[in-house]
A and B are shown apart, each in its own frame.
Chain A
Amino acid sequence: MTKPGLSPEAFAERRLKRRHAAERRFKIYGQVAIGIAVGFLAILLLSIASKSASAFSRHMLVLKIDQPDLSVRSDLAVTDLNLSVRDELVKAFPEIADNRTARIDLFGLTTRLAVLPLTKSAAEKPDMFQTPVDARLAVSDDLDLYLKNEFRAHRTIEVGRAGRLSDTRSGAFRVTDAGPDGFETFQSFVDDPTQPRTDILISLQGAWFELNAISGAALELEHLAGALPPLGELGGAQIDALILPSAGDNRKVSNRQIAYTMLLKQRGMIEKRFNRTLFTNSDSTYPELAGTAAAVVGSLFTMLITALFAIPVGIFAAVYLEEFAKKSIITNIIEVNINNLAAVPSIIFGLLGAAVFLNTFGLPRSVPLVGGLVLGLLVLPTIIIASRAALQSVPPSVRDAALGLGASHSQAVFHHVLPLAAPGILTGAIIAMARALGETAPLLLIGMVAFISEVPRAPNDEATVLPVLIYKWFSGAERAWEPMTAALIIILLTILVAMNLVAVLLRRRFERRL
C-alpha cells in the first residue's frame, strides 16, 4: 500500500490529515445546509416585511366639505360628495379656471369612490355634513406610491433671480434673469436647452412651471399650477428648480399633479396617516380603498365550520380507534386510510368539494359552509393522528382504575382518559386549524375567488378568505397591489404565529403537569 519513498509513519500521518480534513468539510456542509435553510427563511420574512411596510400608511387629502342636502341613497350620496370634493379642489386652485386637462389631472388626485367611507359615516350621522367638516380622502394609488417612493428622490436647486415675466402668444411664459449670467450655470446643468425637459419643474413665487427651453438668457415656461405672479418686473424673486427622478412620460403621475401635490403639501392638505381602511374596508377594485374586513370575517366563518366539523369528528374517530376498536381488518383499513389521506395533495380535496358538494349536493359556490367542510375533511387526518398520540400518552393505569371501580367503558374514556389527553388534543387541533387557515388551493376550486365587497353575515353568504385574498391581490395589475399583498401576508402570518404560540404554551403546560 505504501508509496515508494514514503515512510509508513509519514503515509499514515498524511492519511490521517486527509481524513480529518474530510471530517471538517463534512461538518461544514451541515452548517452550510442549516445556514441556507435559515437564511432563506430570514430573506423571505424580511423581503415581505419590507415590501409591506409602505401599505400600513397612506396619504390622505384633507378637505373642508359641507353638503347640506346629501342624498339618502348611498349611490347618490357618492355623487353628491364627489361634487363637493371637486368644488373644494377647484377652490384650492382657482387659477386653472376651465382648462380641461388641468381639471382632469386635478380630479385624478383621488378616485370617485374615495368618498365611500364618508358616505358610510354619513349614513350613521345624517347631519354631519350640514356644517363644513375636515374630511379625509385616500389619494389615488399612483400618487400614494409616488409620495412614498419617488418623492424622496426629489432634489431642489437654485436657478437664479427672476427679472421680467412676460407671456408669449402661445400661452407660455418667459422669465429673464435679473443677475448677470443669464442662467448660464443652470443652462450648463441642462445639457440640451432647446428641448422641453419633463423632469424639471420650476417654482417662482408659489407658482409651478414646466421648463420648455432656455433661450436668449430667458427661461421659457409652461404654467402648471399655483397663482401666477403679476406680469412685469419681479424684482429678483428667487427661482428654484425641482429635479424629478424620472421624466413625465415614464410615470403614472403627471407633472401637473406633482405641482398640485407640492402646493397641497405646503398648505397641509395632504397628510400621511396610518392605513386604517386596510382593516375596516372590504375588497375593492381600487387598491387605495381595498381592505381585509370581509376576508377576515369569511375566514372566521370558514374556520368555525371547519372546527365544528373536524375537531369533534377527529377526536371521536381517534377515541374509537385507540380505545374501542378491536384489531380487525376494518380498523386496519381505517388506519392505513387515515395515514394515506394525510398525504393526499390539498387540491384533490378541492376537486372532491367541487364534484360532491357543488355538483352532486347542489350547495352554493363561494360560501364558507362548503369551504369549511372541505378544509375540515382536509385536516381531519391531522387531528386524528394528533389525538391518537395524545390518547396513547395517557397511562393505562388511569383506564384500569376507572374500569376497576365499575365505570363503563365510555365513562372511563370520557371522564378520565380524554380530560388527561385534552391539552395534547387541543395542541394538535390548533395546529390543524392553523394549517386550514393558510390553505388556498382547494378553496379556489369551490369558487371562493369571487369578488366580495360586503362583509358576510352568515356561513352561507358568499365570502372569501385571507389566503385567497392574498392570491387575488397578487394577481391585480396595479403596482400598488404588491405592498397591499405583502401587508395582508403579514396580517395572516401574525394570526398564524399567535395560534402556534398558543399551541406551544399549551404543550409546555401539559408537559409540566404529567
Chain B
Amino acid sequence: MLQTLGYLPIGWLVIAPLAAAGFFAFYFGRQQIAALGIGPTLGARLNSQPNFHGYFLALATVLPASFVFLIYLFFADGYVRSSLVSELPNYLVARGPEQVEFFVNRVAEYARDAQAAATGNLLFDASVERYSVLNGTARLIGVLSAVLAGASGFWIGRRQLSRSFPARSYIELCIKAELFVCAAIAILTTAGIVLSLVFETIRFFSLPDGPSVTEFLFGTDWNAQTGANFGAVPLFFGTLMIALLAMLVAVPVGLFSAIYLSEYSSPRFRAWVKPILELLAGIPTVVYGFFAATLIAPLVRNFAQWVNALPFTPDTLLAAQPTSALAAGLVMGVMIIPFISSLSDDVINAVPQPLRDGALAMGATKSEMIKQVILPAALPGIIAAILLAVSRAIGETMIVVMAAGGRALITLDPTSDITTVTYQIVALLTGDTAFDSARTVSAFALGFVLFGVTLLFNIIALRVVQRYREAYD
C-alpha cells in the first residue's frame, strides 16, 4: 500500500480534496448562519452576511491544511533521501557524496515510473523499493497531518461562528494581507536580485582562481573562457562605445522627432506617426539583432573596405570585421529612438502654454521659441530621458550578442568587433553552468556592475523627472 502511494502523482491528490473541503466548509458555514435568520432586533442582528461566515470557515479549514502540506513539500524529499542514504551499504557511501547523490537521483527517477521493470541490479532494485516505501510513508504522514490540521481548523472555526462574530473584518484582513504579499513580491524580486548578485560576486572574488577587485575593475586583459584573465576594462569600454554610438543616432533623431511632432505637425500626422514610432519599441530585440547582423553589418564592412581602398588612406585603417561595434550601435540607436522621442514628447508637452505664447508674442519665430524657451524649460526632463535611454543601451543584450562580436579589445575603430558586458554574461552562462568555476561566477560580477550602473542612472533619471513634474504641476 505504502509503495503504491509512493508512485502516485501527489499534486491533484491534494489540491482536489483541499478544494472540496473548502467548498464544503463554505456552504456549511453559510448554512449554519443563514439558519439563524437575520435576527429580531437591531442590536442582535447578524454582524456579517452569511457568505462571509462561509468564507471564514473555508479559510479556517484550507489555510492550516495547506500550510502543513507546504511544510511537507519542503522537507519530505530531503527526509526520504537522507533516510535512504543512511541505509545504503558502506562501500557505496565510501565512493563520495557525488556518487551517492547520482545513485539516489536515479533511484528517485526510477521510483517515479510505476511501469519501470526491475533492472536486475539487486542493490538498485531494493533501493527503488525502499525509496517508494519511504516516500509513501512520508506522504501518508504528510496527508494525514494536513487532514488533521484542516479538521481542527474547521472545528475551531465552527465554534467561532455566531450572530455577533465579525467574520467580515477577518476576511477583509485576509484580503489585505494577500494584496500586501503581492505588492511585496516586487521588493522580494529586488532583494533576490541584489542578494544573488552580491553573494555570487563575493564568491567570485574569494575563489582561488578568481581575481582581486582591483584586477577585475582596472585590468585590461579579459580572457574568461579559459579562466585566465578577468580584467573587465575592455568590456566596460566596449559597452560604453556601443552605447555612445547608439546615442549618436537616437538622441538627435528622437529629440527632433519629438519636437516636430509636438510643435509642428498637424494632429492627423501626429496620430499616424506616433504609433509608428512606438512600433519600433515593440519589436523584439532578437529581431533587431538579426537585422543588424544580416543587413547593417555587411554594409558597415563594405563601407570600411571602401574607405581602406581610397588612395589617401592606409589599407589597414579600419578593421572591417563581419561583426562590428558600428552595426550594433546604429541598430541599437534605432531601437532607442522611441524611448527618447516619447519621453521628450511628454516633457515638451508639459511646458506650460503661456511660456510659448509669451515667446511668440515677443516676435520670436517658432524655432527660436523652441530653442530659447521650450528646450531650456524641458531640459531636465530631456536629460532624464537620455539617461534612461543610456541605461537601456548598456543593458541591451541580443543586438550585441548577434552583431557586435566577442573579442575583448580596446579600440576606437567602430568597424572592429568589440565585446560588451552583456555579451560576456551570455557567453559565460550559456552552455556549461557549473556554479563553482570562476568562469561562470564572473558573469555575476559583471551583472553586479551592470545592475549598479543602470540602477544609478535610473534613480537619477526618475528623481529628475519627479522633481520636474512637481515644479510644473
Binding site for B on A (CB under 8 A): 19-20, 22-23, 25-27, 29-34, 36-38, 40-41, 43-44, 47-48, 51, 312-314, 316-317, 319-321, 324-325, 331, 333-334, 336-341, 343-352, 354-356, 358-360, 365, 377, 380-381, 384, 408-410, 434-435, 437-441, 444-445, 447, 449, 467-468, 470-471, 474, 482, 485-486, 489, 492-493, 496, 500
Residues of B within 8 A of A333 (CB): 187
Contact B186 A351 (CB under 8 A): no
**Pick from B260, B395, B422: contact of A34, CB under 8 Å:** B260
- CB nearest to A409 among chain B residues: B172
CA distance A344 to B391 in the complex (A): 8
CA gap between A37 and B228 in the complex, in Å: 43
Distance of A352 Cα from B194 Cα, bound (Å): 9
Tell me whether B411 is interfacial, beta carbon within 8 Å.
Answer: no
Residues of B within 8 A of A312 (CB): 182
The answer on a CB contact under 8 Å between A347 and B286 is: no
Q: Are A23 and B367 in contact (CB under 8 A)?
A: yes
Q: How far is the CB of A123 from chain B (nearest CB, A)?
A: 21
Q: Closest CB of chain B to A511's CB: distance in Å?
A: 14
- Given known pairs A325-B183, A333-B187, A340-B459, the reply for A37 and B295 (CB within 8 Å) is no
Q: Are A470 and B186 in contact (CB under 8 A)?
A: no
Asked if residues A51 and B429 are in contact (CB atoms below 8 Å), the reply is no
Instruction: Choose the segment among B13-21, B275-283, B315-323 that binds chain A (4+ C-beta atoms closer than 8 Å).
Output: B275-283
- Cross-interface CB contact of B295 among A47, A336, A340, cutoff 8 Å: A47
Inter-chain contact A348/B193, CB cutoff 8 Å: yes
- Chain B 174-208, CB-CB to A under 8 Å as 1, else 0, gives 01101110111111011011001101100000000
B-side contacts of A468, CB under 8 Å:
286
> Does B306 sit within 8 A of A, measured CB to CB?
no
Give the nearest-CB partner of A323 in chain B.
B179
Q: With contacts A343-B454, A440-B286, A474-B290 known, is A319 near B261, CB below 8 A?
A: no
Q: Which of B200, B257, B283, B443 contacts A37 (CB 8 A)?
A: B257
Asked whether, in the complex, the Cβ of A316 is within 8 Å of the Cβ of B182, the reply is yes
Contact of B447 among A314, A351, A408 (CB under 8 A): A351
| A29–B41 CA distance with the chains assembled, in angstroms | 79
A449 CA to B200 CA in the complex, in Å? Answer: 23
Contacting pair A44 B284 (CB below 8 A) = no
Contact B186 A408 (CB under 8 A): no
Name the one of A20, A32, A500 contacting B282, with C-beta atoms under 8 angstroms: A500
Rounded to whole angstroms, the CA-CA distance of A438 and B397 in the bound complex is 13
Chain A residue nearest in CB terms to B175 = A410
Closest B residue by C-beta to A435: B282
Which A residues are CB-close (under 8 A) to B366?
A: 23, 26-27
Distance in Å: Cβ of B78 to nearest Cβ of chain A: 11
Most chain A beta-carbon neighbours within 10 Å: one of B186, B259, B282, B295 = B186
Contacts of A40 in B (CB 8 A): 280, 334
A-B residue pairs in contact (CB < 8 Å), sample of 7: A37-B253, A48-B291, A345-B392, A345-B396, A356-B192, A380-B189, A440-B397
List 14 other contacts, CB 8 Å, given A33-B254, A345-B397: A22-B365, A26-B370, A331-B183, A334-B183, A337-B187, A340-B190, A347-B422, A348-B193, A348-B450, A438-B282, A440-B286, A441-B426, A471-B398, A485-B290
B394 at the interface (CB under 8 A from A): yes
Contact (Cβ within 8 A) B433 A337: no
Closest 5 CB pairs of A and B: A345-B395, A30-B260, A438-B284, A33-B256, A26-B367
B289 within 8 A of A: yes
Q: Which residue of A lies closest to B179 (CB)?
A: A320
CA distance A40 to B253 in the complex (A): 11
- Interface centre among A23, A343, A474, by most chain B C-beta atoms within 10 angstroms, is A343
- Measured in the bound complex, the distance between the Cα atoms of B187 and A485 in whole Å is 38
A483 to B97, CA, bound (A): 49
Chain B stretch 407-440: residues in CB contact (< 8 A) with chain A: 422, 425-426, 429-430, 433, 435
Chain B residues in 8 Å Cβ range of A409: 172
Contact A334 to B175, CB < 8 A, known contacts A37-B280, A434-B282: no
| CB-defined contacts of A313 to chain B, threshold 8 Å | 182, 185
> A34-B273, A47-B295, A351-B425 are known contacts. Are A470 and B287 too (CB-CB below 8 A)?
yes
Which of A36, A321, A351 has the most chain B CB atoms closer than 10 A to its own CB?
Answer: A351
Which residue on chain B has the smallest CB distance to residue A352? B193
Structural contact, A51 and B294, CB atoms closer than 8 A: yes
Nearest CB of A to B148, in Å:
28
A317-B179, A356-B196, A471-B402 known; A334-B187 Cβ under 8 A: yes
Q: Is B87 an interface residue (CB 8 A)?
A: no
Inter-subunit contact B182/A482 (CB<8 Å)? no
Q: Out of B252, B293, B394, B429, which one reaches A354, CB within 8 Å?
A: B429
Contacts of A47 in B (CB 8 A): 291, 294-295
Interface centre among B391, B394, B395 (most CB of A within 10 A): B395
Chain B residues closer than 8 Å to A23, beta-carbon distance? 365-368
- Interchain CA distance A324-B289 in the complex, whole Å: 43
Residue contact B260 to A471, C-beta cutoff 8 Å: no
Closest to A410 in B: B175
Chain B's nearest CB lies how many Å from the CB of A36? Answer: 5
Which residues of chain B are within 8 angstroms of A337 by Cβ–Cβ distance?
186-187, 190
Interface membership of chain B positions 240-284, coded 1 if the CB is closer than 8 angstroms to chain A and 0 otherwise: 000000000000111111011100100000000100110110111
